[in-house]
Amino acid sequence: MSTPHIAAERGQIADRILLPGDPLRAKYIAETFLDNAKEYTHVRNILGYTGTYKGVPVSVQGTGMGMPSISIYVHELITEYGVKKLLRVGTCGGMHRDIKLRDVLIAQAASTDSSMIRNIFGGTINYAPIADYSLLEKAVANARKMNLPVKVGNIISVDRFYDEDIDNDKLRAYGILAVEMEAAALYTIAARYHAQALALFTVSDHLLTGESCTAEERQTSFNDMIRIALETAIED
């Protein structure tokens, strides 16, 4: 069995998965954090691996960038491979003064300008894509246990990385903490197919200050986020 975008047999993918955008991040996570990781797909160079973390089977797979791309993988992972817990591990741009470079941020909700979400509901409903509460609660508790500070709140998932029309001041005024490009689709599709989803980020750049992380700084906060995500993924 395989799907158009994932070349794996059903049992090869664990029921809990970490989802970085970059396929090489998936390789890095598999090689650095998982035991006995084996590649299960490389269609379009989107790499997927399954291994174990503290003895529990966990997979990790790239999703590409943007909501159309992540939607394809999330749909196939849930509906064809039976994945139940999906944790996006990505980077975001900080937008708010409460958010600093290198912070780990968890998206309680993901506002969006996505036409994908609007197309589902038509013009009358403004759907609120939200994190699975049980994963959110566990992730915050795990971060506390590990003594790693996390911020939690509303973010925005946008369709355009280069967007000269977006009103960042208004978003900030309404408490949007950061910008990224995938979480709203992940939360919406997971809700539709009764799976649990959570999006965690490290703040790689900041829209207020114009700062961005060095590669080394990015790696340290990225590793902290991965540890929080893995500890959360293996809990039942």
Residues near ligand HPA (CB under 6 A): 91-93, 158, 161, 179-181, 204-205
For ligand HPA, give the closer residue by CB, 35 or 163. Answer: 163
- Of 105 and 234, which CB lies nearer to ligand HPA in the complex structure? 105
Residue 45 C-beta: closest distance to ligand HPA, Å: 20
Closest distance between ligand HPA and the C-beta of residue 182, in Å? 9
Least spacing, CB of residue 202 vs ligand HPA, in Å: 9
Q: How far is the CB of 114 from ligand HPA (least distance, A)?
A: 13
Comparison of 12 and 111: residue with beta carbon closer to ligand HPA: 111
- The amino acid occupying position 57 is P
Looking at the Cβ atoms of 83 and 179, the one nearer to ligand HPA is: 179
CB of 208 to ligand HPA, least distance (A): 11
Task: Please tell me the distance from the alpha carbon of residue 218 to that of residue 203, in angstroms, as a whole number.
Answer: 8
Nearer to ligand HPA, 28 or 56 (CB): 28
SS3 of the chain = CCCCCCCCCHHHCCCEEEECCCHHHHHHHHHHHCEEEEEEECHHHCCEEEEEECCEEEEEECCCCCHHHHHHHHHHHHHCCCCCEEEEEEEEEECCCCCCCCCEEEEEEEEECCHHHHHHHCCCCCCCCECCHHHHHHHHHHHHHCCCCEEEEEEEECCCCCCCCCCHHHHHHCCCCEEECCHHHHHHHHHHCCCEEEEEEEEEEECCCCCECCHHHHHHHHHHHHHHHHHHHHCC
Based on CB atoms, which residue is closest to ligand HPA, 139 or 181? 181
CB of 121 to ligand HPA, least distance (A): 23
Tokens standing for 93? 């741009």
Could you tell me which of 22, 76, 29 has the C-alpha nearest to residue 229?
Answer: 29
